[in-house]
Amino acid sequence: MKFDISYTFDALPRLFEGALVTLQISLLGIALSLCLATGLTLVREATGWTWAHRMLAVYISFIRGTPLLVQIFLIFYVSPVIGLDIGPFLAGILAITLNSAAFVVEILRGGLASVPKGQFEAARALGLNGWVLWGKVILPQTFIASVPALVNEYTQVLKATALLSTITIVELMRVSQQIYTRNYHPVEVLTGTFLMYFVMCFAVSRAAAQLETRMKRRQA
């Protein structure tokens, strides 16, 4: 067989649509993950609930110790059995969010560590506490310090969404599978898909690297 590039070109319009879905899902995933991780960070850093801290540690260890694919299957196949009919899309978003949040919590921990102690002391000396202390003083600085790592995390989420093809979500990977099961030219179609993922991920990870050097320069 010869590589016939016309099959790649024919597939392109539909692959673009798939890529758009991939971008939407991944952006939704990272946004939800950031919200969840911020909440979990507040629980860990601003409360003295030891039982919650312990559960959080187990959650992070479980997520980091098991394959994302298995987490996706757990949520997708188990939710209808326990009476939650949430469908593949919600199950997929939930799995991606729960997975990414465990990593984002660790990123935010790093960002928080870079906020000088004097910020806490100064804010407390001014009489700030609770929501004002965290929401207006500490968290904004934590987020800014975490930006490069968070952009990097986005590439991870972008790649992770390809696994959702296994639970029938029609994103880029699934679209390409639909095309080549019909025209029997998997190599040509998958090459197009491969390049599309590469362009998206490479652009984002280059941006992350540049942000990191720029922020280092600013600190120096």
Partner 1 sequence: MGLELSIFIDYGPRILVGFWLTIKIVVLAIAIGLPLGVFLALARRSRLALLRFAATAFIEVFRNTPFIIQVFLIYYVLPFYGLRLPAEQVGVLALAAFGSAYFAEVIRGGIEAMPAGQLESAHAIGMSETQAMRYVVLPQAVGVILPPLTNQMLSLIKESAILSTITVQEMTMTALRIQGETFRPFEAFIMIALLYWLLNEVVAIGMRRLERGLTRKTPRSTTLKVEGGR
33 binds partner 1 (CB under 8 A): no
Nearer to partner 1, 123 or 147 (CB): 147
- CB of residue 109 to partner 1, shortest distance in Å: 13
The only residue of 152, 167, 169, 179 in contact with partner 1, by rule CB under 8 A? 152
142 binds partner 1 (CB under 8 A): no
- d(CA 195, CA 108) in angstroms, rounded, equals 32
Q: What is the DSSP string of 24-62?
A: HHHHHHHHHHHHHHHHHHHHHHH---HHHHHHHHHHHHH
118 binds partner 1 (CB under 8 A): no
Cα-Cα-Cα-Cα dihedral sign, residues 50, 56, 59, 63: negative
The only residue of 13, 48, 65, 118 in contact with partner 1, by rule CB under 8 A? 65
Q: Which helix (H) or strand (E) holds 154?
A: helix 139-160
- d(CA 8, CA 153) in angstroms, rounded, equals 30
- CB of residue 45 to partner 1, shortest distance in Å: 21
- d(CA 27, CA 175) in angstroms, rounded, equals 19
Nearer to partner 1, 81 or 125 (CB): 81
Number of shown-chain residues binding partner 1 (CB under 8 A): 41
The only residue of 6, 13, 51, 81 in contact with partner 1, by rule CB under 8 A? 81
Interacting residue ranges for partner 1, rule: CB under 8 A:
1, 3, 61-62, 64-71, 73-74, 77-78, 81-82, 99, 152, 155-156, 159-163, 165-166, 173, 186-187, 190-191, 193-194, 197-198, 201-202, 205
